[in-house]
Amino acid sequence: MNLINPSVVASEAEALESIKPTREEAEEAVRTLLRWAGENPAREGLLDTPKRVTKAYGQWFKGYGEDPAEMLQRTFDEVEGYDEIVALCNIRFESYCEHHMAPIIGVAHVAYIPTNRVVGISKLARVVDTFAKRLQVQEKMNAQIANTLFDVLKPQGVAVMIEGEHHCMSTRGVHKPGVNMVTKKMLGVFKDDKAMAREFLDIVNHSKA
């Protein structure tokens, strides 16, 4: 289990912030890439491109400024003894691979079995988005989501399955569009009890029907 240490997360964020370039420096970097690609950043159609790209980066990578553990702090205790699977399927996400910075587009399926408290389902989607809005490797993103839910909510178990199309594979390299990469992470009862794992996979498959 990877326990989350808020002080470590905060210190890492502060360290990154201290070396973060200015917006002007980021825009100049975009101009450099445009010149490297063979373009003229001074032509009319590209004059505002550096500004647009840096603004887009702020949206694409906003997850670095968000704390997924904080999102899960508000929970509800009045569950009338509910101790079955809570699942949120087909959570669409957009991420970027850390090797080529090409898009990863896909869906995440998230489930947990509460002990004595539940969390609002929108928070599950927000946790997925927070980790997706960072440079990622799908296996790591899958583990980050599952570990965070398990560490913060303290449920009986967590299951996370991700299906993603990697554009670093579909638009470059081997050029194989339409290929989905599937990863999954099971913790707690989902890992220990094969019947529970099958039930989760059945829920995911049923959601696609």
Binned average pLDDT, 10 residues per bin, the chain of 209 residues: 53 68 97 98 97 97 96 91 94 97 98 94 97 98 98 97 96 93 98 97 92
Residue 159: the pLDDT is 98
Q: Which of 136, 138, 144, 156 is catalytic?
A: 138
C-alpha 106/C-alpha 130 separation (Å) is 15
Which is the catalytic residue, given 94, 167, 168, 199?
Answer: 168
The CATH fold of domain 6-60: GTP Cyclohydrolase I; Chain A, domain 1 (1.10.286)
Q: Report pLDDT for 78.
A: 84
Q: Is 99 a catalytic residue?
A: yes
Quick one: pLDDT at residue 187? 98
Verify whether residue 100 is a known catalytic residue: yes
pLDDT for residue 6: 52
Look at residue 22 in the predicted model and tell me its pLDDT: 95
Our answer to whether residue 156 is catalytic in this structure is no
pLDDT of residue 53: 98
For residue 81, the model assigns a pLDDT of: 85
Q: Which fold has domain 76-208?
A: GTP Cyclohydrolase I, domain 2 (3.30.1130)
Q: How many CB atoms lie within 10 A of CB 76?
A: 10
Tokens 């928070």 sit at which residue? 123
Task: Please report the pLDDT score of residue 5 as a whole number.
Answer: 59
pLDDT confidence of residue 17: 65
Structure tokens at 110: 């998230």
Domain boundaries, given as residue ranges, for the chain: 6-60, 76-208
Cα 190 from Cα 113, distance rounded (Å): 9
Q: How far apart (Å, rounded) are the C-alpha atoms in residues 17 and 184?
A: 32
- The yes-or-no answer on residue 144 being catalytic is no
Provide the 3-class DSSP secondary structure of residue 87. strand
Is 138 labeled as catalytic in the residue annotation?
yes
DSSP state of 18: H
The model's pTM is: 0.89
- The b-or-e profile of 21-36 (16+ CB within 10 A means b, else e) is eeeeebbeebbeebee
